[in-house]
């Protein structure tokens, strides 16, 4: 096919899409792109090519992409086809597992552009397919949808959200429950082989006009489900064992949907001194005060820190826009400045607090049994495994993502370094930034009552288990082929050392093992226990490098020097990683 033939085919495909598109806005947008491209506008042609470059594929638990027309964007055509394919999958799974049972599903949505529309059409398609369907009554947090899958005994759940992505994006996150998945995955995000099975059902969906949408018949939930979530989440606090509540909290939902719920939960848990960041308190799909609505991004917490400074707060808690992640900031006693804690630091603090809660409750497991499992992703710190061992818990590592972490049998606590924490898997089998906020507040108030800060608590963990310091290097690329090239470079010419320490363990994660399914990634451990993991991102065009060094510390007086040494070691490892990648 010549270039001109390809252009003609592209323009024809676009016109056909526009003719069937039920959304007049995206249809008009597409026709304008066709007109501009036909007139020789290179930017319009590039946008048109990208919009029709394949079909969105199920990645991390579903779909996520920029809003716009075409099969490679999030729009009503893509959502209708996805809903129809998912409905077919659910019907087949339930018929196989429980013949004669009617499938049940729940649909939630955040406050992003078109989230409510995508959710309503999903509910209409599910209902037309014979699925008993529940629709959330308003834009609510992702953890509430994950809670609803199990609370309503559903076989499937859909959350329309793009989490902390830029404003122009939206997504379609899928959960399975009850009859549709094995027990330890009930209420969790989809993993293989379910993702491929659902994708095959979506591909098999016929012409768009064959997809039926019911005019009514689904149930719009009232406020009782959200009230149940709030009550049970607030009930995670243990005031009889950890009574301290003197804590001044600044909370930001980052223009997302978590503010009202998180505030209600913290108040109900006994934390009455909570101030919402006024400028970011209400949902706003344009996220006007942040360039990127992710607490990890530089500048994202500036307004929260300004508010905390003004109020002389003890701690800042931030949720991402769908409230499944939590960030923490506090004043570092060494510098007197506010500092956001790394995800690994919060993960360790929560792990130690979960262990302390368990010990305080006096629950004794049967002889020879552990009280449960702590779990974290392979790219997260190794400190949690040491905390678990010291407290008598088992520990497991998983692939990156809560779709894997949440499936660990017997898990009582799990986290990943990207600010995701699961402190109550019996309530929400996923990361939950609101329940995590309750336990973070509890541990911070307990430390304050003892005359300490959360940084002091961290130091105590370092003295016991070694100073674990981590960092990351993210390399964004315009061409996805560059990711393969960089990974191939490492496989052909493996590095011999990092930070002047010889590599002793070199593992190609794509091979898989008894503990981990195959994934594209490389893991290195050096003689002095420095660890480097390099992998392509599952959701963005990035190569991500995770670094960790461990320094043993004999006394508190040695900590400042150990921190400096760890930082210097990380900087040296960063340089070595960049050199190994040919940067």
* Alpha carbons 56 and 82: distance in angstroms, whole number: 10
Token digits of residue 98: 């429980």
Token digits of residue 359: 């010990």
Strand order in the sheet with 315-319: 274-276, 249-252, 315-319, 326-331, 338-340
What's the Cα-to-Cα distance from 237 to each of 268, 349, 404, 433, 452, rounded to whole Å? 9, 16, 26, 15, 20
Neighbouring residues of 147: CB distance < 8 A, sequence distance ≥ 6: 225, 228, 229, 427, 428
Cβ neighbourhood burial of 450 (10 Å; 0-12, 13-18, 19+): exposed
- Return the SS3 of 135: strand
Output DSSP code: residue 67. Answer: B
Contacts from 385-391 at CB under 8 Å and sequence distance 24+? 386/464, 386/465, 386/466, 387/348, 387/351, 387/352, 387/355, 387/461, 387/465, 388/351, 388/355, 390/355, 390/464, 390/465, 391/352, 391/355, 391/358, 391/359
Q: Are 300 and 275 in contact (CB under 8 A)?
A: no
The CB density around residue 156, as the number of other CB atoms within 10 Å, is: 29
Q: How many residues does the chain have?
A: 583
* Alpha carbons 422 and 412: distance in angstroms, whole number: 8
What's the Cα-to-Cα distance from 230 to each of 61, 260, 422, 570, rounded to whole Å? 25, 10, 16, 41
163 is catalytic: yes
The CB density around residue 153, as the number of other CB atoms within 10 Å, is: 13
What's the Cα-to-Cα distance from 504 to each of 106, 495, 525, 527, rounded to whole Å? 49, 11, 6, 6
* Alpha carbons 555 and 386: distance in angstroms, whole number: 18
Q: Is 549 left (phi over 0), alpha (psi -120 to 50) or beta?
A: beta
Backbone angles phi, psi at 99, to 5 degrees: -55, 135
Catalytic residue among 51, 115, 163, 435: 163
What kind and span of H or E run contains 516? Answer: none
Active site residues: 163
């Amino acid at each position: 096919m010549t270039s001109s033939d390809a252009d003609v085919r592209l323009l024809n495909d676009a016109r056909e899409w526009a003719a069937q598109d039920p959304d007049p806005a995206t249809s008009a947008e597409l026709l304008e792109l066709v007109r501009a491209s036909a007139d020789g506008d290179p930017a319009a042609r590039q946008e048109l090519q990208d919009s029709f470059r394949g079909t969105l594929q199920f990645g991390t638990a579903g779909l996520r992409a920029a809003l716009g027309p075409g099969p490679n964007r999030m729009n009503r055509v893509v959502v209708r086809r996805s809903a129809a394919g998912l409905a077919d999958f659910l019907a087949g799974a339930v018929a196989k597992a429980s013949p004669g049972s009617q499938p049940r599903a729940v649909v939630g949505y955040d406050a992003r552009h078109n989230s409510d529309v995508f959710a309503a059409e999903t509910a209409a398609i599910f209902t037309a397919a014979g699925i008993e369907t529940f629709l959330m009554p308003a834009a609510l947090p992702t953890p509430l949808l994950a809670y609803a899958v199990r609370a309503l005994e559903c076989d499937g759940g859909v959350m329309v959200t793009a989490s902390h992505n830029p404003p122009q994006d939206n997504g379609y996150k899928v959960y399975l429950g009850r009859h549709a998945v094995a027990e330890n995955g009930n209420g969790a995000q989809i993993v293989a082989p379910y993702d491929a099975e659902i994708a095959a059902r979506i591909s098999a969906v016929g012409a768009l006009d064959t997809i039926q949408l019911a005019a009514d018949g689904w149930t719009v939930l009232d406020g009782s489900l959200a009230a149940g979530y709030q009550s049970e989440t607030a009930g995670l606090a243990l005031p009889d064992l950890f009574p301290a509540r003197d804590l001044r909290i600044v909370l930001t939902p980052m223009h997302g949907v978590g503010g009202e719920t998180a505030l209600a939960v913290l108040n109900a848990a006994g934390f009455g001194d909570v101030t919402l960041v006024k400028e970011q308190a209400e949902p706003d799909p344009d996220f006007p005060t942040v360039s990127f609505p992710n607490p990890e991004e530089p500048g994202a917490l500036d307004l929260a820190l300004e508010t905390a400074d003004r109020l002389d707060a003890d701690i800042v808690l931030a949720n991402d826009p769908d409230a499944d992640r939590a960030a923490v900031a506090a004043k570092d006693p060494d510098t007197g400045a506010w500092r956001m804690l790394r995800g690994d630091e919060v993960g360790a603090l929560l792990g130690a607090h979960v262990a302390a809660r368990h010990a305080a409750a006096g629950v004794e497991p049967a002889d020879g049994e552990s009280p449960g499992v702590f779990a974290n992703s392979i790219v997260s710190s190794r400190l949690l495994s040491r905390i678990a061992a010291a407290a008598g818990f088992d520990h497991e590592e998983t692939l990156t993502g809560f779709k894997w972490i949440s499936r660990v049998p017997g898990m009582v606590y799990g986290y990943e370094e990207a600010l995701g924490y699961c402190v109550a898997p019996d309530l929400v089998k996923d990361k939950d930034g609101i329940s995590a906020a309750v336990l973070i507040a509890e541990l911070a108030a307990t430390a304050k009552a003892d005359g300490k800060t959360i940084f002091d608590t961290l130091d105590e963990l370092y003295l016991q288990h070694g100073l674990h310091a981590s960092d990351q290097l993210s390399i964004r690329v315009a061409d996805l082929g560059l990711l393969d090239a960089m990974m191939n470079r490492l496989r052909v010419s493996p590095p011999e050392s990092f930070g002047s320490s010889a590599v002793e363990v070199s593992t190609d994660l794509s091979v898989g093992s008894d503990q981990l399914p195959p994934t594209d990634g490389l893991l290195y451990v050096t003689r002095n226990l420095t660890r480097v993991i390099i992998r392509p991102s599952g959701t963005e065009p990035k190569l991500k490098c995770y670094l960790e060094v461990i320094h043993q510390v004999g006394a508190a007086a040695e900590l400042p020097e150990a921190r400096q040494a760890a930082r210097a070691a990380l900087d040296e490892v960063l340089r070595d990683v960049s050199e190994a990648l040919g940067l």
